[in-house]
A and B are shown apart, each in its own frame.
Chain A
Amino acid sequence: MDKIKLKIDGREIQTEKGKTVLEAALENGIDIPVFCYHPCLKSIGACRICLVEIASPRGDQIVPWPKLAVSCATAATEGMEVQTHSEKVVKARQGVLEFILANHPLDCPTCDKGGECPLQDTTFKYGLDFSRFEERKRRFITDENSTFDDLQIGPEVIRNQNRCIHCYRCTRLVQERFFEQDLGHYQRGAFTEILPPPGGEIRNLYSGNVVEYCPVGALTNRDWRYKVRVWKTEEIPTICRYCSDGCNLHVSVFRNKIYRIQANTNWSIDEGLPCDIGRYGYQFAHHDDRLTRPMIRKDDELVECSWNEALTVIKNKIDQTVKSLGSSGVACLVGESLSNEDYYTIGRFFRSVIGTNSIDHRIYRKKKLSFGEDVVKRELCWNKLDIADLEKADQFFILGSDLHAENPITALRVLKAKRFSDARIMLLNPRPTHLNRAADEEHIYSAYSEVFLLQGLVRLIVEKKMYDPDKANIKDDEAKAFLKETADFDFKTVSEKTGIAPVDLETIARSLCEAENTIFISGENVRIHYQRDPILISLYNLAKLTGNLNGDASGILMLGGESNSKGCYLFGMRPDRLPYDKPFEQAEELKSSWGEIATDKPGYDTIDILQKINDEKIECGFLLGLDAADHYPDSEYINNTLSKLDFMVVADLFLTDTARLADVVLPISSHFESDGTFVNWEGVLQKFSKSIKNIGESMPLWEIFSKLSTMFDADFNFKTADDIFRHFAPMLGQESVSRMAAIPKDGLRSEKKIDYPDLGLMAVKYRKPSHEDLPLTALSGNGDHHFSRNFSTRCESLNNFLADPYIAINDKLAEDMTISEGDLIKLENSSGKIVAKALIWQNLPEDVVFVPDNFIEVKVSMIRSKDNDIDKVKMVKM
Chain B
Amino acid sequence: MALSTESIDAMKKAAARYPQKRSAILPALTIAYRQIGYLYDDLYIEVADAIGVSPNEVASAATFYTMFPKQKVGKYLIQVCMNISCGLMGAESLKEYLLKVLNIKEGEITEDGLFTVVSVECLGSCTTAPMMQVNQTFYENLNREKVDKILNDLREKG
Binding site for B on A (CB under 8 A): 181-188, 196-200
Contacts and interface: CB of A to CB of B under 8 A. Distances in A.
Interface string B34-56: 00000001101100000000111
B59 A184 contact: yes
Contacts of A183: 56
B60 interface: yes
Q: Which 4 A-B pairs have the closest CB atoms?
A: A181-B54, A198-B41, A197-B56, A181-B56
Interface in B51-67: 54-57, 59-60, 63-64, 66
Main secondary structure of the interface of A (DSSP, over half): loop
B60 A198 contact: no
Nearest to B41: A198
A185 B55 CA distance: 12
B20 to A, nearest CB: 13
Given A187-B63, A188-B63, A198 B45 contact: yes
Interface of B: 41-42, 44-45, 54-57, 59-60, 63-64, 66
Nearest to A437: B54
A173 B149 CA distance: 54
Contact of A181 (B42, B57, B63, B66): B57
Contacts of B63: 186-188
Given A197-B55, A198-B55, A184 B60 contact: yes
Contacts of B60: 184-186
Contacts, number: 37
A277 to B, nearest CB: 24
B64 A184 contact: no
B56 A187 contact: no
B57 A198 contact: no
A614 B64 CA distance: 69
6 contacts: A181-B54, A181-B56, A181-B57, A197-B55, A198-B59, A199-B45
Nearest to B64: A188
B59 A197 contact: yes
Nearest to A188: B64
B64 A197 contact: no
Nearest to B43: A198
Nearest to A174: B56
A184 B41 contact: no
Given A183-B56, A198-B44, A198-B45, 10 more contacts: A181-B55, A182-B56, A184-B56, A184-B57, A185-B60, A187-B64, A196-B56, A197-B55, A197-B56, A199-B45
Nearest to B55: A197
Q: Which of B42, B55, B57 has the most CB of A within 10 A?
A: B55
Contacts of B57: 181, 184
Contacts of B64: 186-188
Contact of B66 (A184, A185, A188): A188
A197 B44 CA distance: 9
A23 to B, nearest CB: 28
A199 B43 CA distance: 12
A180 B45 CA distance: 16
B66 A200 contact: no
Nearest to B45: A198
B158 to A, nearest CB: 34
B30 to A, nearest CB: 18
A815 B122 CA distance: 55
A842 to B, nearest CB: 13
A200 B44 CA distance: 12
A186 B65 CA distance: 10
A152 B45 CA distance: 21
A197 B66 CA distance: 18
Nearest to B65: A188
Nearest to A186: B63
B66 A199 contact: no
Contacts of A184: 56-57, 59-60
Contacts of A182: 56
| Most B-side CB within 10 Å, residue of A183, A188, A198 | A198
- Residue among A181, A182, A186, A197 with max Cβ neighbours from chain B (10 Å): A197
A833 to B, nearest CB: 38
Contact of B41 (A187, A188, A199): A199
A797 B44 CA distance: 30
Contacts of A199: 41, 45, 55
Contacts of A197: 44, 54-56, 59
Contacts of A186: 59-60, 63-64
A196 B44 CA distance: 13
A190 to B, nearest CB: 13
A177 to B, nearest CB: 15
Most chain A beta-carbon contacts within 10 A, residue among B41, B44, B45, B60: B60
Contacts of A198: 41-42, 44-45, 55, 59
B27 to A, nearest CB: 19
A196 B41 CA distance: 12
Nearest to B54: A181
A188 B44 CA distance: 17
A199 B44 CA distance: 11
A197 B41 CA distance: 9
Nearest to A195: B59
A524 B63 CA distance: 43
B62 to A, nearest CB: 9
Contacts of B56: 181-184, 196-197, 200
A203 to B, nearest CB: 13
A159 B8 CA distance: 35
Contacts of B55: 181, 197-200
- Which residue of B54, B56, B59, B60 has the most chain A CB atoms within 10 A of its CB atom? B56
A196 B66 CA distance: 20
A181 to B, nearest CB: 4
Contacts of A185: 60
